[in-house]
Amino acid sequence: MARAKQPPSGPAPDAPGPASVSRQIGATVRRLRGSMGLTLGEVAKRSHVSAGMLSRLENGDVSPSLETLAALTAALGVPLGTLFGDIGKPRGSAQHVPRGEGLEVVRRGTKRGHTYHLLAADRGPRRVFEPFLVTLNDKSEVFPEFEHPGTEFIYLLEGSLTYRHGDETHLLKGGDALTFAGNVPHGPEKLLKTPIRMLSVIIYADGSADPALGN
């Protein structure tokens, strides 16, 4: 009787090594921190992880302990498993975000009652674009003073509002779209019919996103 072949020992050929895992975790931490508009110092203070260690972690220079990762995810307000979501996935794979499962993130408008769900995230060292599902309700405040790099595209899904861009005011209703330069002050000026839901896509032509200025 022929003997059954024994499975090869060691990791599968495509299994990511420790260095690759550390880089992917670091990139995920950096992406999450950036999408929330938080600095290294702010996350370090919240998590009690030194800014130097956090910088090395984001660059993939160290292999963080589970305790460190747990502290960071607590500071960022995301589940621990979020840091491992991309590990082992082939590069260039599509990102599927089921309905209602976009990651809720903190932006400048959050304190004004605006809700942001991130619908996709770049996996490279620099962000090229950011798509958000933005929700405003009758308790949201208007804030026409957002500024950020790149070009923004807005598509109104539900509700109506007036939206200011520089010296211009635009009436937006369901199905309307608006595209504008992000470095000119802009934002909702008057909420006419709530709830308001809109798709907001920010495109950074040179990848030079500045999360601290994002809306």
In Å, how far are 118, 134, 151, 157, 209 from 205, measured between CA atoms? 19, 22, 8, 25, 9
pLDDT at 24: 84
Q: How far apart are CA 215 and CA 212, in angstroms?
A: 9
44-80 residue pLDDT tens: 999 999 999 999 999 988 888 889 999 998 888 888 8
Q: Which of 24-28, 152-156, 210-214 has the lowest mean pLDDT?
A: 210-214
Topology of the domain comprising 103-213: Jelly Rolls (2.60.120)
76-116 residue pLDDT tens: 888 888 887 666 655 556 777 788 878 788 777 788 888 88
pLDDT at 109: 79
pLDDT at 5: 40
pLDDT at 87: 62
Q: How far apart are CA 16 and CA 122, in angstroms?
A: 19
pLDDT at 191: 95
Range 159-173 average pLDDT: 96
Range 7-29 average pLDDT: 64
Same fold across 18-84 and 103-213: no
In Å, how far are 38, 73, 136, 152 from 179, measured between CA atoms? 26, 34, 19, 6
Is residue 153's pLDDT more than 90?
Answer: yes
Q: List the domain boundaries for the chain.
A: 18-84, 103-213
Of residues 201 and 6, the one with the higher pLDDT is 201
% of the chain with per-residue pLDDT over 90: 38
For residue 58 the two structure tokens come to 């984001």
pLDDT at 164: 95
pLDDT at 206: 59
Question: For the domain bounded by 18-84, which CATH number is listed?
Answer: 1.10.260.40
pTM of the predicted model over 0.85: no
Please name which of 116, 39, 118 lies closest in space to residue 75, comparing C-alpha atoms: 39
